[in-house]
Structure 1
């Protein structure tokens, strides 16, 4: 029998959202995570949305920073 183990996403970057900075709330963050298949995902803990997958880390990091600066959740 062959067992498949799913690896957890590896966090690359974390940015506090606009409201998180105003309220000094460290739980309101947008993070970039590398998936097991070599793509990067953006996940926002404040608004609860995933904001797409990216092929390059720099693109995902820029998009996460932009989202964090504009997220009002």
Structure 2
């Protein structure tokens, strides 16, 4: 298993940002990844927000990522 497939396996959810939807840019997204220590983390490829949170529950992290993606204009 290479690094990219390991990273994809840890990804729980991915949402396109508001700017990504407006510009039809699939490279602007916010994702939730599973982390062994902190539970779940949020990373945004558009604004660079990385490691936000440290959510214990996947549902909380997914809700926070969706909210961030709906507001991110980067």
Q: TM-score range by the shorter chain?
A: 0.7 to 0.9
**What is the TM-score of this pair, normalised by structure 2?**
0.83
What are the Cα deviations for residues 26-55 of structure 1, in whole angstroms up to 9, with x where unaligned?
000000000123600000000001222100
- Structure-2 residue corresponding to 1:40: 40
List 4+ stretches of structure 1 deviating above 2 A: none
Distance 1:21 1:70 in 2: 11
Please identify which structure carries the higher helix content: 2
Query: TM-score scaled by structure 1?
Result: 0.84
1-side partners of 2:70 and 2:38: how far apart?
Answer: 26
Cα root mean square deviation, aligned = 1.3
Residue ranges of structure 2 left out of the alignment (5+ in a row): 1-5
Query: How many pairs does the alignment contain?
Result: 66
**Which structure has the larger Rg?**
1
